[in-house]
Amino acid sequence: MEHKWNREQRTLISELIQGMELAKQLRVHLGAASSVESGDLLVQRILSSYEKALLILKLSGPMGQPQQNVGATSGVSESPLSINCSPRSDDLDKDNQDIRDVSKKRKMLPRWTDQVRVSSESMLEGLHDDRYSWRKYGQKDILGAKYPRSYYRCTYRNTQNCWATKQVQRSDEDPTIFDVTYRGTHTCAHGNQAVRQPASPEKQEYKSNNLNNNNNQQLQSQDILLNFRKGLKVNTEGLDNKEMAPSFSFPSTTSFGCLKSENNSFSPSGVLDNNNVFGNFSSPFMSPDTPELNYFSVSPSQTNNFGGFFNAQHSESDLTELISANTSATNSPIMDLDFSLDQVELDPNIQFDTPGFFS
């Protein structure tokens, strides 16, 4: 690419490279400290994530999202967190097309999937609840799927013009797995604060349990999770008939506004925040066992947000909500890149910290 990278992209790349360097340093330290192969493997995979993220940036080129904002309207620009969302001056006459453009807009919204595994135990913990307030607006039987798909929108769509939606689809293969597809970023007042929220370690572990059980690092994380969960009380509110029935519904009511538990601080440091961001979309490469995921998905094996999360002080009720905290689009402006990562073949040995990368 010979084009100019904009400042945000340079910053992003710089952060990625810095993270990669830090991971390398960590590997050196781990190597010096006795036999911790799992740690070394973890670092290797972290590095791989960074490299692939950088490659994605490289492939998408300056401005990152050439497919976005094509056509008469710039649908994603309504998200204050969308990268490169500067208003287009030639969109001034779009008012009379708003209604017709709604579907276009929605189609252009960032979209990604998460997977939630709900065991009989975790059902009791309100696992499936995330930190936003959702209102169910539809349910559909999907062709070829055993279970119906449920549609949710932000409770504050009308009051705050927040167009975030999500779809929940129970997996055919494993009924304890729910694919949650998020679409659009939360633009409601509380939703914007979700920038710092981590991907849910709970979800990550569930997916890890189910789909990627080949790494010690994951087992370690599971131990952490299990210990953590022992401290939780059962959230009986999460156990309603709807969840047991084929037409599963996520409870959506919250008393905290759009974003739940706004008093929680997830990350004690910005470093963790950055890790959150990167962790959220590195997974398609690192979770080869999830071929069905066509967009960004949260990988438990790659997302390590435990630090800030578990260090924070929470009440029990907070924890049962936080444990299912979702990966908000607001975490990652790059979620605007709605493309299939499966199509990208990557060489794990590619070096991005070469001088010419920014050229």
On the 0-12 / 13-18 / 19+ scale of CB atoms within 10 A, 12 is buried
What's at 150, amino acid-wise? S
Cβ proximity to DNA: between 110 and 300 the closer is 110
Query: Could you report how far apart the first and last alpha carbons of the chain are, in Å?
Result: 7
Cβ proximity to DNA: between 20 and 164 the closer is 164
Q: How far apart are CA 269 and CA 272, in angstroms?
A: 6
- Nearest approach, Cβ of residue 145 and DNA (Å): 7
List residues binding DNA (CB under 7 A): 100, 102-104, 106, 133-145, 149-151, 153, 155, 165, 167, 183, 242, 247, 249, 251-253
- Nearest approach, Cβ of residue 96 and DNA (Å): 15
Three-state secondary structure call for residue 16: helix
Cβ proximity to DNA: between 9 and 185 the closer is 185
Q: How far apart are CA 288 and CA 157, in angstroms?
A: 36
CA distances from 176 to 114, 271, 302 (A): 14, 33, 21
Cβ proximity to DNA: between 37 and 141 the closer is 141
Cβ proximity to DNA: between 52 and 153 the closer is 153
Between CA 137 and CA 142, with CA 139 as vertex, the angle to 5 degrees is 145
- Nearest approach, Cβ of residue 309 and DNA (Å): 26
- Nearest approach, Cβ of residue 153 and DNA (Å): 6
Cβ proximity to DNA: between 155 and 282 the closer is 155
Cβ proximity to DNA: between 234 and 346 the closer is 234
Residue with tokens 């930190």: 131
- Nearest approach, Cβ of residue 150 and DNA (Å): 7
Between CA 238 and CA 248, with CA 243 as vertex, the angle to 5 degrees is 130
Q: How far apart are CA 154 and CA 323, in angstroms?
A: 20
What's at 194, amino acid-wise? A
- Nearest approach, Cβ of residue 66 and DNA (Å): 18
- Nearest approach, Cβ of residue 330 and DNA (Å): 18
- Nearest approach, Cβ of residue 125 and DNA (Å): 18
CA distances from 308 to 27, 208, 210, 270, 304 (A): 22, 20, 25, 10, 10
Neighbours of 208 (CB within 10 A): 26
Cβ proximity to DNA: between 158 and 227 the closer is 158
- Nearest approach, Cβ of residue 352 and DNA (Å): 34
Cβ proximity to DNA: between 55 and 293 the closer is 293
Four-point Cα dihedral 45, 46, 47, 49, nearest 10:
90
- Kind plus residue range of the DSSP H or E element containing 177: strand 177-183
